[in-house]
Amino acid sequence: MKFLTAAKIILVALTAMLILATGCGRGDDAIAPPAGPGTISSGPPTIQLSGDQLNSIRIGTVGTYAFSVDNTGIGNIDFQNNLYSDNSLSIPVFPSGSGTILKMLVELGDQVQKGQALYSVQADATNLIVRSPVTGQIAAINASVGAAVQPGKDPAPCAVADVSTKWLLASVPEADSPLCHPGQPVKVTVAEYPDAVFAGKVEKIYPEVDINTHRVTVRCEISDKENLLRAGMLADFAIRVQKSAPSIGIPANGVVREGDGTMTAWVTTDHSHFVQRIVKIGMQEEHMDQVPEGLHPGELVVIDGAIFIDNMLQAPADDD
């Protein structure tokens, strides 16, 4: 009787173990996600591209790129230096003798040639014709008909500026001002001409700090041979405050920002299988992204069309 009871206990135990093992197996099958076409479900996301799909991307070798360190901000275009009176790009035009203005021959903003008549003066019994000393633009008119004028007495009846050169009065945070030095290269853009880049250099760092904004004015000389920039324009600037240093970088089209903000790139070893790699992005310059973490020199990476592969990864699997 005892032997029969023991046999029953063993039989029940074996049956329970069999049921438990079968149930666990079915549970694993139920929760295992199906792998989409061309993807591998374990480890980093991986995709295999067909020959036609490879035509939608470009592959290149990870290398180094000279990323520059710039101080960026907003400033104003000027050539009269209205904020400071220590200097000006415009030339005051005085008469050679004392008298009264008979006629103004130009208006503010007019383009004039060197030697062109600007205004006339009645000096005793003589009519003096005052001409422009340079080719440029009328930057200021400070007198009207009948006004008394004399040589060297400010303000001059008018001023002419060589508008092929403008000033950018850059507003730099006081903490960054020690990084700025005369001669440093500058790049300037304005909203009116978004595709144009105006080059120049730092000319002077003013000593005053604005008590309200805690910013320092940095005067930059900008080349504008087509005379596109106007005094008073807001401008974005980038002052090169440090020499370029080589760093790992890839084209911006090889980087994808994921929905959670993570930045990724696609790496390959055989031009067919591509593995998604999380990367860290640093500076960005001329369509290149600095990658201080995540890639190594010499690796093969997608340099154009990374978003194409990313979209394939996100696409739902085909129902066959």
pLDDT at position 104 is 96
Is 158:140 a contact under the CB 8 Å cutoff?
Answer: yes
Residue 165 has what pLDDT? Answer: 86
CA dist., res. 163 & res. 151, Å (int): 25
CB 249 within 8 A of CB 60: no
Among 6-20, 176-190, 198-212, 277-291, where is mean pLDDT lowest?
Answer: 6-20
pLDDT for res 2 = 43
Mean pLDDT of the chain: 84
What φ, ψ does residue 308 adopt, rounded to 5°? -65, -45
Amino acid symbol at 197: V
Of 130, 129, 87, nearest to 217 (Cα)?
Answer: 87
The CATH architecture of the domain made up of 39-67+246-314 is: Beta Barrel (2.40)
> Percent of the chain beyond pLDDT 90?
63
Provide CB contacts within 8 A for 282, sequence distance 6+.
67, 247, 289, 290, 291, 292
Q: How many CB atoms lie within 10 A of CB 2?
A: 6
Q: What would the pLDDT profile of 62-103 be if each residue is shown by its tens digit?
A: 999 888 878 889 999 987 555 454 556 789 999 999 999 999
Q: Which helix (H) or strand (E) holds 308?
A: helix 306-314
* Predicted confidence band of residue 235 (pLDDT cuts 50, 70, 90): very high
Task: Pick from 166-170, 226-230, 266-270 the range whose average pLDDT is largest.
Answer: 266-270
pLDDT classification of 125: cutoffs 50, 70, 90: confident
**pLDDT tens digits for range 35-65:** 344 444 567 899 999 989 999 999 999 999 8
Segment 264-286 shows an average pLDDT of: 92
Task: Give the pLDDT band of residue 19 (cuts 50, 70, 90).
Answer: very low
Q: What's the pLDDT at 21?
A: 47
What pLDDT does 3 receive? 42
pLDDT (average), residues 227-244:
89
More confident residue, 318 or 275: 275
For 188-216, what is each residue's pLDDT tens digit? 999 999 999 999 999 999 999 999 999 99
Kindly list the domain boundaries of the chain, sorted by start residue.
Answer: 39-67+246-314, 69-81+164-243, 90-161
pTM for the predicted model, two decimal places: 0.55
The rounded distance, in Å, linking the Cα atoms of 302 and 60 is 6
How many residues does the structure list for the chain? 320
Please check the confidence at residue 151 and state whether its pLDDT lies above 50.
yes
Rounded to an integer, the average pLDDT of 262-279 is 95
Q: What is the mean pLDDT of residues 250-264?
A: 94
pLDDT at 131: 97
* pLDDT of 258 strictly over 60: yes
Region 128-148 average pLDDT: 93
CATH 2.40.30.170 for domain 69-81+164-243, yes or no, is yes
Report the C-alpha gap between 92 and 142 in whole angstroms: 10
- d(CA 80, CA 77) in angstroms, rounded, equals 10
3-class state of residue 89 by DSSP: coil
Name the percent of the chain lying above pLDDT 70: 82
Beta bridge mates, 92: 159
pLDDT of residue 4: 41
218 alpha-carbon distance from chain centroid: 19
Asked whether 235 and 192 are in contact (CB, 8 A), the reply is: no
Say which DSSP state 30 is in.
Answer: H
For 90-161, give the CATH class: mainly beta
Residue 253 has pLDDT above 80, yes or no: yes
Confidence of residue 243 (pLDDT cuts 50, 70, 90): confident
Neighbour count for residue 144 (Cβ, 10 Å): 10
What does the alpha-carbon distance between residue 252 and residue 288 come to, in Å, rounded to a whole number?
5
Tokens representing 40 are 């591998």
